[in-house]
């Protein structure tokens, strides 16, 4: 019964991408193993062959995988203009466009999952932490390239990410892009202010 999918990719890879998609949309506890298997077109046997530690191990790997998608989104914003302030502001715009495409159902790949397992799954929490730090580094690198001193860049990158994450939460709950549009203008302003004060 394997002939259904034409040129089917790795079962393992399908499990990871399916899990990443479900975690992004509805978090950890709402995502049942059965739903993952259905979405991935796999079975229990395969899952526990590749991930002996079960759902938790699979989720941790899926978060790291999903983090790459979000990084690509950030990169698109950060490289969208030679002007640093514009590039930073565009991160919020690009994010808003991406969220709208799923009608605000698919969000940051780690936020929903991270918030519900804090203090209860070190494995997943660490994967979340690594993802956030990677995004932060990505932003910081662009800030440095745009002329922000290294230490100020690390801090500013942190706040940019904070603002993006928070504005995403507010936008998704409200079902409109207001918070992200506002964040765009304020991030532009903040970036300019930091550069002047540095």
Partner DNA sequence: ATCAATCTAGATCGATCGATCTAGAAGAAG
Partner DNA sequence: CTTCTTCTAGATCGATCGATCTAGATTGAT
Chain residues in the site for a copy of itself (CB under 8 A): 26-27, 29-30, 103-105, 107, 111-112, 114-116, 118-120, 125, 128-129, 132, 155-156, 158-159, 161-167, 169-170, 172-174, 178-179, 182-183, 185-186, 189-190, 192-194, 197
Minimum separation from the CB atom of position 125 to DNA (A): 16
Long-range contacts of 118-126 (CB under 8 A, 24+ apart): 121/28, 121/56, 123/56, 123/57, 123/60, 124/28, 124/56, 124/59, 124/60, 124/63, 126/60
**Hey, what are 101's tokens?**
């495409």
- Kindly tell me which of 40 and 183 has the beta carbon lying closer to a copy of itself: 183
Residue 180 contacts residue 92 (beta carbons within 8 Å): yes
- Kindly tell me which of 7 and 150 has the beta carbon lying closer to DNA: 7
Residue 57 contacts residue 121 (beta carbons within 8 Å): no
Q: Which does 83 bind (CB under 5 to 8 A by kind): DNA, a copy of itself, none?
A: none
Candidates 71, 49, 51; CA nearest to 59 is 51
Minimum separation from the CB atom of position 5 to DNA (A): 7
- Kindly tell me which of 2 and 196 has the beta carbon lying closer to a copy of itself: 196
Q: Which residues are CB-contacts of 47 (< 8 A; sequence separation ≥ 6)?
A: 15, 33, 36, 37, 54, 58
Residue 172 contacts residue 99 (beta carbons within 8 Å): yes
Q: Which does 45 bind (CB under 5 to 8 A by kind): DNA, a copy of itself, none?
A: DNA
CA pair distance 140, 147, nearest whole angstrom:
11
- Kindly tell me which of 126 and 162 has the beta carbon lying closer to DNA: 126
Binding footprint of DNA on the chain (CB under 7 A): 1-2, 5, 7, 9-12, 31-35, 42-50, 54-56
Q: Which does 170 bind (CB under 5 to 8 A by kind): DNA, a copy of itself, none?
A: a copy of itself
Minimum separation from the CB atom of position 40 to a copy of itself (A): 21
Minimum separation from the CB atom of position 173 to DNA (A): 22
């Amino acid at each position: 019964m394997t002939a259904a999918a034409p040129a089917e990719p790795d079962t393992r890879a399908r499990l990871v991408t399916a899990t990443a998609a479900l975690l992004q949309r509805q978090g950890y506890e709402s995502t049942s193993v059965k739903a993952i298997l259905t979405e991935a077109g796999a079975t229990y046997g395969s899952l526990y062959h590749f991930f002996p530690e079960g759902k938790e191990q699979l989720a941790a790997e899926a978060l790291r995988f999903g983090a790459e998608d979000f990084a690509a989104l950030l990169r698109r914003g950060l490289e969208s203009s030679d002007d640093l302030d514009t590039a930073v502001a565009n991160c919020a715009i690009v994010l808003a466009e991406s969220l709208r495409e799923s009608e605000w159902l698919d969000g940051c790949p780690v936020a929903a999952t991270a918030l519900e397992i804090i203090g209860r799954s070190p494995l997943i929490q660490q994967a979340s932490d690594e993802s956030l730090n990677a995004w932060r580094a990505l932003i910081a690198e662009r800030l440095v390239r745009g002329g922000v001193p290294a230490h100020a860049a690390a801090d500013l990158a942190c706040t940019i990410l904070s603002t993006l994450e928070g504005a995403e939460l507010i936008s998704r709950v409200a079902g409109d892009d207001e918070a992200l549009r506002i964040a765009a203008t304020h991030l532009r302003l903040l970036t300019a202010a930091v550069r002047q004060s540095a």
